[in-house]
Structure 1
Amino acid sequence: MEGIWFTEKQLPGLAVSCLVKKTLHHEKSEYQDVKVVETDTFGTMLLLDNVIQTNVRDEFIYHEMISFPALNTHPNPENVLVIGGGDGGTIREVAKHPRVKKATLVEIDGVVVEVSKKYLPTIAAGLEDPKVEVKIDDGIKHVKDNKNTYDVILVDSTDPIGPAVGLFAKEFYTDVFNALKEDGIFVAQTASPVFNGEMIKRIHKDLGEIFPVKDLYVATIPTYPGGYWCFTMGSKKHSPREVAKESIAAPNTRYYSPDVHFGALALPPFVEELVK
């Protein structure tokens, strides 16, 4: 795959293409097809089963937005779990937060971790942070086995296919609730409000039956389907809408800020309809 166009078929009637200058790595792990390519527009890009996961040009948007809204909503997020996210971008942002003391990454596919360290060093840099512990394990099992442990849990998963299917199930959200401490917060990426509305409705309904506080916020991420993405939060106590603006930490961020924290919660009417 060199000097040709890679095309990801995002939906039955939608595809996105990138000009690939060079294939840097390709192997089949136990769980998925793992590929790293050098693209003309987005730089180095990680593909899993030929689906774009992250790239060096716009990764900061996703990784900051899955992390900081919850970290700043919780008054003292000392112990944080990231499920998935083997590229290291989310755990990198978590480790930057001044009140985080320990960050655990549980990734099912060790190949993703090793490949990211080698070919995506700016994204994977956080994997070597002294706050971070990396476990190659099943995240679904991990939350079942660790009750009342974490202040914040972030689910940085692929789409709900293959090994990630269980990460979008109500049973998993219940186990996440139980793995959180009494004022814990959970966030998951929940795809496109333009193309995945029914899934978002179902997730929001499920979380409403488990968590006292639930919310949804959005960000613009160019390489994901439609370029408009949402994240869903479940909280035992704290609301992202009630955070004191002066308390928000945004260390060396490029997208997230105190203003963006609240702006991301201002939903267009068609998105509000999904979560009523």
Structure 2
Amino acid sequence: MTFDLYKPQVMGILNVTPDSFSDGGAFNSLDNALKQTEQMIADGASIIDIGGESTRPGAEDVAEAEELSRVIPVIEAIRQRFDVPISIDTTKAKVMTEAVAAGASMINDVCALQEPGALQAAAKANVPVCLMHMQGTPRTMQVEPSYGDVADEVNEFLRARAQTCIEAGIAKDHIVLDPGFGFGKTLPHNLSLLAQVEALVELGYPVLIGLSRKSMFGKLLDRDVDDRLAASLAGMMVTLNQGAHIFRVHDVKETMDCLRVWQAVKEQKA
């Protein structure tokens, strides 16, 4: 399944996990996962991102067999029922391979294909890949993260990983970059990145933004996880205006409303 990675669009989050930070346990039954997928498509999602292992700060590792048992039946069921691109959110090579075989058409990796066999599996799968920056691991990433210049370091890491992917046989137009808000970054780091997304866009790859309900907004505004919609939408608009392309969110309907207003105004200027 082919789709335009440079088109501003919404990626709906479908966590089939018991412990994700915002919706853990809500969609880890097949029936609930399908209902949520149907709703997100109706609300305007053009990609569904399925994850079977939480990457929240402090999250425990999930065994490969367990992750496969969570995601493969959901991917197969969605592929049978809906005509929508599916992204697999994983760091494991075998999960990437099995997910694509089951019907996934994109790989979303918070480790930027650095785990054993992941780069080779992604190249062989011949589907778009999203490379994310993370300092440390989910278990340790929020333990005193440190940078000289956060935007420069994140952008250089992603530029280098993209080049490694190209050298491994992944087509340049299959590569998406994600600065990894909240992954090994303090609030000042996140805000600095948010102000400089345009520099990442200028590398020439589609840019994916994941700000939905992030703890950075909780720290900035003293809001619980279920009370961060307005902040998430504001962050999305800040990055959209800097040229970002794909917005990975929990709240598809509200994000699409913002995107449609932005597009309508842009058309008036054309």
TM-score category of the 2 structures, normalised to the smaller one: 0.3 to 0.5
Tell me which of the two structures has the higher relative contact order, counting C-alpha pairs closer than 8 angstroms and 6 or more residues apart: 2
Give the TM-score, by structure 1 length: 0.36
Q: TM-score, normalised by structure 2?
A: 0.36
Q: Which has the higher strand share?
A: 1
Whose helix proportion is higher, 1 or 2? 2
